[in-house]
Structures are given as C-alpha cells and as structure tokens.
Structure 1
Amino acid sequence: MSGPSRRSVLSALAVAAVAPLTACPGDPSPGPSSSPSAAPSSSPSPSQLPFGLVTPSTVESVIFDGAFGTGYVEFAADIMKASYPGVRVRVTAVEDVRAAVEPRLADGATPPDLVDNSGAALLPVATLADRFVELDDVVESPSLEGEVLRETLYHDVLAAGTFNGRLLAINYALSVYGLWHSASEFAAQGWELPQTWDAILALGDAARRLGRSLFVWGDEAADYYQELAIASAVKEGGDEVRVALDNLAEDAWAHPAVKGVLEQLETCVREGFVLRGGDYLTAQAAWVREGAGLLYPAGAWIASEMSEVAPADFAMTVAPVPTLTAAPTLPISAVHASPTEQFLVPRDGRNVAGAKELLRTMLSRETAAHFSRTHLVPTIVRESVPADLESTALTSQARLLADAGEHVFSWRFVTHYGLGPETNAAWAEFLGGTLSAQGLAEQLQAISDRVRNDPDVERYTVE
C-alpha cells in the first residue's frame, strides 16, 4: 500500500530503539535549532504560535482510555499550559470513541477540539472526512525543538492519516505486531518459536499436555486474530494478498494463502487450543498472570497494558507470525508494523488552533520520549527513544524491524473504513467455534464488498 508498508525506514528504528534514533538517509537538514528544554516565552512570537492560538482559551480533547491511557496527552498539556499562561486543556478519557464523538460531529453540534480515534469502536474517518481539518500546517510548522516538524518524523508515517490525498490525521505510536510471549518461559521449557503453522500446532499439543491453551482471546479483541491471519497470509502469498485485501477486491478473502491460514486457525479452534478469556483485559491477564495461554497476537500496546500485571520475570517479547510453508513469498522475518493512535481535529471545534498546538506539543521529542519510557513503544518522532531505557518488549520490536529490513508491511482498510465492530463480531463467532473458516471468509468478504460498492464511501487505492 502507499504509506507505511514495506518501508526500509522503519528498519532504522531497530538499530536505534535502545539508543538515540538517527535521521533517515536523505532527510533534509534541520532548521535553526533551539534547546529542547527551552519553553516559549510568556509573550510568544508568531513563529511560536503558528496556528493563531488565543490566550486565554480552553482546548477540549477526547482520548481513548486504552493501553496508553491519557497521561501522555496530559504531559503535553502541562508543557503547553506552562508555555502559554491562560490556556486550559481538558482531557476526557473514553472507552468508546465513536459513541462519544460521532454524535457531536453532526450538523449544529459542537465537537471536541482534538480526538484520539483509537480502540475497538473507531470513527469511520473515510465517511466523515469533511468533518475534519487538514493537518499539513501542523507538520510544516516548527517543532518545539526548532526544526520543521515533518523532518523530525519517520519517513512516510503520515500516509496512514492521508485520505484521498488529504492529511486529516496524524498517527502517534509506532506499533510492531506479532506473537507476544514470555521469553523466560520459552527458554525454561526449551521451546522454539514456531515459524510455520505446523510448528504452531505442535506447540499447541505441548501446551495441552501442560493443561494449558495455546491462544487466549478477549471478547472485544477477537479481531486481533484477524491481524494474525492477514499478516501470516501476506507473508505466505506476498504483496498481492495485502493489495487485494486493502483494495477491498472481489474474492480477496478467497486467496489460497488466506484460505490456508484460516483453515489452520480453524484447526486450532477445533483442537481446543484457543481459550475464550472474557473481556479483553481479563483475557490478557489470564495469558500473562495465570499462564492460561502461551501466545497472544497483538500490537506493541500489549506491553503497556500488561506492565502492571505481568510477573517481574515474564520478559514480554514479540516474535514474527508463522507462515504456511517454510518457503513463503516474503521472508519468514517479514513483519507488520504501522503507526497507531490516530489524532483528528474536527472542523467545527471551538478551538482548532488550540488542538493543533496541543498536537504540535505532543510531537515534541520531550513528549515522545516520555511516551516511550512510559509505554515501551516508540512514536513516529525520530531521536526520541530514551537511550537508557531497558525493555525486552522494546528491544524485541527493534530486533524484528532489523530482521525484516525492507520487508515491513501494513494495511489500513479495517481502520480506514471503520470495520472493526463488524469484523470483531465475525471473529468472535469463529474463535467460539460457531463459524467455520469458510463461513468467516464469506462474512468478511461480504463486508468488503458492501464498502466497495457504496458510492458514498471515499476509497483509497494501493498498488
């Protein structure tokens, strides 16, 4: 796809996730520098207020209260308030972003100024595109460190927020996806990380002999297994699988690689290797704290969500997803990674300038470093991961990106078109054993077909 797929730049993160990140080759030289710790004066110059922020004023933000909580936005808000006396920032935590925000986007309503479009219930940005402002002026503004903000970001990470050529969102966190597990337990048991689905099934047998499951799934996060399936199928069948799914192509879900992976997952369900763990946080806790399962497919946020639950010696680590054969089209080391935590500025908010200023502050290296230190996940901001940070979660993400090299890929049709609730429901049926692999593929294809044939949906195309 256009955007963060297969980007060699992401592999550069691997070299630097445990050391200061370096600039991408070919990046323009930064502009006049300023001390990262220097706060703007009490009477900011026009260059320090590129969006026309008015003081005093209030900025209202609605933030998804999930893996990353709201602390990183509050951290940026504190910097902003100290820099611009008279500015207030209200941070509201919500668990259902769509329910909280979509009614406020209607004609005549007043939306919040900044929205973190994340979680299971996403706003369908593609169909609401005219409700949000373009953010080109944010990335072309000076960063708090004095550089052009765009030049401080990893290459092409902005593509995930681009809709029909318009930059409507900036995704903040850089997430690596894979199979999360306890490295210490795998070492103690002498288990090797499975590279093929045959090896996955063998590990499932080993788990069963211990009275445990191979996988655990949570009700609101059943479609984490969709990510696993797509990533595995893309590695097996190559870019044609990713392109077909992302373009909502006819019969995309019938591709032999997709069909094969779904059948392997169906075998896991049929063999009793997959345990329903209740709501998603309870399921994750059962995996980490109780050892109910060996593997959990997820993005990098899982390390943060379980940081206070995992035993001290758990050594949370991520590994690449398996392939059907030992000779897939993409290398076995290929990995899915993409920017997440999508930030939007509604057009009709009371303080659009304040929202943009808060977003600019969040994209400072100081705030980005705070985020990585707190959540063990890098952001899209280069040179922002603390050099002294020790974390198996972060270093394993770095290793996967290094091993993948050019073969880092992504897709965005699920989030772009707001399909999460529908696909999650289908996957819950499948993982619960009431829907076959064939039935699942048919349901998912029907969802893609409906969106593809809807003339009111603004679609994107990848090659």
Structure 2
Amino acid sequence: MGYRISRRGLLNGAAGVAAAGTLAGCAMGGDDDTESDAKGEVSAANPLGVKEDAPLEVVIFNGGFGEEYAKAHEAMYQERYPKAEIKHSSTQKIAETLQPRFVAGDPPDVVNNSGGSQIDFNGLVSQGALTDLGELLDAPSLDDPAKKVRDTLLPGIVDVGSYDGKFLSLNYAYSAYGVWYSRKLFESKGWQYPKTWDEMIALCKKIKAAGIAPWTYPGKHSRYMSWPILAAAGKLGGIEVIKAIDNLEPNAWKHEAVRAAAEAYYQLAVDGFLQPGAEGMDHVQSQTEWCRGHAAFVSCGSWLENEQKSVTPPDFRMAVAPTPSLTTSDKMPFEAFRGTGSEPFIVPTKGKNVRGGLEYLRVMLSQQGASDFTRKVSSLTCVKGAGAGIELGPGLASVTGLIEASKGTAFTWLYSSYYRKLERERVDAACAELYTKRINAAQWCEQVQKSADEFAQDPAVKKYKRA
C-alpha cells in the first residue's frame, strides 16, 4: 500500500471555496445507478456486505489533524479485509483535487471533506452525491454487536450531519469552541478568567497595562471572531436566536441579542484590545503569537492544541473557557458553550466501493479507532467514552472539564454547514471590517443580514429547515 505524505497543512483556501461553489451548477457524472457494484455476502461478521477483495480509496484533508490517524484506521480496515488494496492520499485542497472527479462520476470511496477548500455540502446534497449513512447508524457496532452504531455516538452528531432528514456526513471529531488562554500566564499574573463581559473589559485593561495584547485573532480568517459573537448571542437570547439564523429568517442577524454581542466584541477593537498587526495574520500566525505570550486570548476550537503542538512551550498549559456572559439575565448559563461535531467524512454515491466506505466509517467509530485518534491528535471524537483512560494534554483535559461543567447545555449552529459560503465569504468579510473598525456593530448586523437575505432569496441555493 503506497502513501503520499504531505506536511501538516494550514486551513487555507479562499480560492478553493470559490471553486467549491461551482459544484452545485454541474451535473454529476456517471450513470443513474448510485449503488456500488462492490458487494459481498452479508453475515454477522460482515453486516454491511463488504466485498472482501474490493479496493478502497480514502482521501484525507491534511490540516490540523494531519493524516497519520487515517493510516491507523486504514490498517484496522485492512486487518479485517486483508485482500483489499487501500489507496491513501491527502491534500489541503479537497475541492480543487476532487471536484473534477465528482463531476466525472469517479470520486473516492471515503472523503474527509474538510478545511478551507472543502467541497460545498449544499452542492453535494442537491446533486445527490452523498450516500445516506442511515444503514451505518443501524449496523451493529464493531465492539458490541448488540449495540447499534447510532447508540455509540454523542448527542447532536446525527443532527449536525443531516440534511433533509438524511444522515449524509459523519462529523468525526468533537470540537469545543471557546476562548483560550494560558494557565501559566494567568497564574503568574494573578488573573482570573472573566465570567462576565464587564469582567472581561476590566481584565483586558490590566493585560494591556502589563504590556501584553489582550486578544489576537486571524485577520485573514476573521470568521473565527464571529464564533464568540454568536455564542454570546445564543447565551443571551436563547437557542431560538441561533435557529432563526440557521433558518435564514428575516432580521435574524439583527436580533437584539446578536446586536448586543456584536457591540461587545467590537469594543475590543475600539478600546485597542486587539493585537496590532493581527488583521494581516492567518490562524497559525495569530495562534503562534498567542503561544509566545504576546496575547492573552484567542478564539478557536479544540483542534488548537494539536495544531500548535510544535510551537507551544512545555509549561504553557493552554485552557479553554466559555464566552463570558453578557448580562446577569442571559438565558443560558455561563458554562454553556458551542460544542459540535467537526471534521466531516462522506461516502460518495458514485464511489466504486460504497460498502467498503460504510465499513471504513464503522471501523473509525470503534473504541479502538476513536481512542487511537484522540491519542494521535489530541482531539475527542464523536464516540461516547472513547477518551476514557487516555492521558490527555492540558488543552484537551481542559476541554473535557468544559464539557463536564456545561452539564448538557452545549449548543451549536448549523448555518455554516447549510450555507458554507455565507460564513466563509460573507461573515468572514464582515468580521474583517468590524475588527478593523471600518464598520461598527450595527453595520455588521446589517451587512451580514443583507447577505443572509440574498441566500434566502436565491432559488439556486437549496434551503434547509432546523426544527
């Protein structure tokens, strides 16, 4: 089995996003038979009917998690099916690499459709390019045949991967989003993480006085700073505020909770609490500045620890916390945070080995497959209990503490999955202007709402409804 090794990549690809959007306008190639010809005999040991000698092609996004974890999963698959030849490749540019193959009707069997150059799910779904993973959910788990795969998954994983009631995308990693800081820095300065916005501003003044930038952010990917705005808005106004945004409802982005949250984070720019020069940085550059102690806070997801492992000082002790509460009457508690599945895996309908693709995901969802992923990349998976007994790094240990403290109040939004370009292009651009003070919070709400309205009114954009 040959591997093409790529260096650990960056989440990069504005050009790829633009390219990805064209898929919706292209007819999928191939004939009308979307079922793979590679079929084997169904049995207790082979519930998905995998053809044991059918080749399997896997393409991995080589980003923050790298590709080594996938090689371990492939080895597990090959142990079960030793006659199967596995072709592995990785790329930072999923859309540029694979979009022509989808159009030609010759996609791989498994795709990690992630990163800045992800193929737009809206196009894939509307063209019927993705296999319904419902059969996988109802298959017996690899560890316990008496338990279905669906019963091994964390809550919300099926929701975030479902479109029009069909489970089409397995978001394998479980990502917690929040505000990150260094426990070492905070303890050395006697600082406490702020639970309210007033406390945040007061602490930012102290941090700036100490000669450290209170916040840094990736100006080239400014949407990272939309995450705390939406998290704060959801906590202030409740989940219905988030659902209205997901459903492209009129004036959803101009809700008073969204406006209040945008004004709070705009204050960071107005008061000079953002690191000078951050507007020109990408995510790795800004995160590296944070790791070097040049800034106290950064907004990111729980892949941060793995992504920064080569530059993080041994005693840095990174930690994550929820966004501060905006008021004393927020509808959600301070401990509520955005938590959701990420790192989507798909099985194309036109793959030559659909059965094998489903089985590969079943292998990934085993306790062995999931715990191995956590050990290799310092990220939790969507599999219940798979992180138990594993020695976790400071960042991931902090994430598990965040999850436990939330007591089931974690929430997420889906608009960025339903309408990827709305976040990756429009919200991203609006945030770039907000944090450089070219527009204010009210104008930010207006600008993003106008973009959301365009998506809502565009007949070429497939719409989804979140209940």
Please give the TM-score of this superposition, normalised by the length of structure 2: 0.85
- Relative to structure 1, the CA distance from residue 191 to residue 123 in structure 2 (aligned partners, 3 Å threshold; closer, same or farther) is same
How far 1:114 moved relative to its partner?
A: 1.2
Within 5 Å, which residues of 2 pair with 1:184-223? 184-223=184-223
Partner of 1:279: 282
Q: Which residue in the other structure is 1:444 paired with?
A: 448
| 1:56 partner letter | D
For residues 156 and 216 of structure 2, the distance between their equivalents in structure 1, rounded to whole angstroms, comes to 34
Q: Distance in 2 between matches of 1:430 and 1:105?
A: 37
Trace 1:322-361 onto structure 2 (pairs within 5 A).
Answer: 322-361=324-363
Match of 1:115 among 111, 116, 129: 111
Q: Matched residues in 1 for 2:166 and 2:42: separation? A: 29
Amino acid in the other structure paired with 1:281: V
User: Quick one: percent identity of the two aligned structures?
Assistant: 31
Whole-Å Cα distance in 2 between the matches of residues 93 and 210 of structure 1? 44
RMSD: 2.0
Counterparts of 1:96-107 in structure 2, within 5 Å, are: 96-106=93-103
Instruction: Report if the CA contact (8 A) 1:224-1:298 is conserved.
Output: yes
Matching residue of 2:138: 140
Please name the residue that 2:381 is paired with.
379
Aligned counterpart, 2:27 = none
SS at match of 2:118: coil
Equivalent position to 1:431, from 431, 435, 438: 435
Q: Is the 8 A contact 1:126 1:163 kept in 2?
A: no
Output the CA distance in 2 between the equivalents of 1:441 and 1:99: 32
Whether the aligned pair in 2 keeps the contact of 1:214 and 1:293 (CA below 8 Å) is: yes
SS of equivalent residue, structure 1 residue 144: coil
**How many residues are paired up?**
419
CA distance in 2, matches of 1:236, 1:304: 31
| Residues 1:229 and 2:233 are matched in the alignment | no
Match of 1:69 among 66, 71, 95: 66
Per-residue deviation, 1:83: 2.0
State yes or no: 1:126 paired with 2:122: yes
Amino acid at match of 1:158: V
The 4+ residue runs of structure 1 with deviation greater than 6 A are none
Gaps of 5+ in 2: 1-39
8 Å contact kept, 1:164–1:458: no
The SS at the match of 1:174 is: strand
Does structure 2 retain, via aligned residues, the 8 Å contact 1:223–1:424? yes
Q: For 2:351 and 2:220, how far apart are their aligned partners in 1? A: 30
Q: Bigger relative contact order, structure 1 or 2, given CA contacts below 8 A and separation 6+?
A: 1
| Residue 177 (structure 2) aligns with | 177
Q: Work out which of the residue numbers 310, 315, 318 in structure 1 matches 2:317.
A: 315
Q: 2:415 aligns with which of 386, 404, 413?
A: 413
AA partner of residue 115 (structure 2): G
Deviates more, 1:151-160 or 1:224-233: 151-160
Alignment deviations for residues 136-176 of structure 1 (CA, whole Å, 9 cap, x no partner): 11122222213322222223421111101111111111111
- Cα distance in 1 for partners of 2:376, 2:388 equals 11
SS in 2 for 1:204: helix
Residue aligned with 1:361, SS = helix
8 A contact 2:177–2:338 mirrored in 1: yes
- The aligned amino acid for 2:129 is R
**C-alpha contact (below 8 Å) 2:133/2:169 kept by paired residues:** yes
Secondary structure in 2 matching 1:187? helix
> Alignment partner of 1:80: what SS?
helix
Letter of the 1:88 partner, please give it: E
* 1:47 partner SS: coil
Aligned partner of 1:257 in structure 2 is 257
CA distance in 2, matches of 1:71, 1:142: 27
Corresponding residue number in structure 2 for 1:370? 372
The normalised TM-score by structure 1 is 0.85
Q: Partner of 1:163 in structure 2?
A: 163
- Unmatched 5+ residue regions in structure 1? 1-42
- Indicate conservation of the 8 Å contact 1:372/1:386, yes or no: no
C-alpha contact (below 8 Å) 1:164/1:459 kept by paired residues: no
Q: Which letter maps to 1:252?
A: A
Residue 403 of structure 2 corresponds to 401
Change in 2 beyond 3 A, CA 1:187/1:126: same
Residue of structure 2 in register with 1:47 after alignment: 44
Distance 1:220 1:139, change over 3 A: farther
Shift of 1:284: 0.9
2: distance between equivalents of 1:96 and 1:440?
Answer: 30
CA distance in 1, matches of 2:406, 2:144: 33
- How far apart are the structure 1 equivalents of 2:285 and 2:82? 42
Partner Cα separation in structure 1 for residue 357 and residue 337 of structure 2: 34
Task: Tell me, yes or no, if the aligned pair for 1:64 and 1:117 is still in contact at 8 Å.
Answer: yes
Structure 1's 81 and 261: CA in aligned 2 closer, same or farther, altered over 3 A? Answer: same
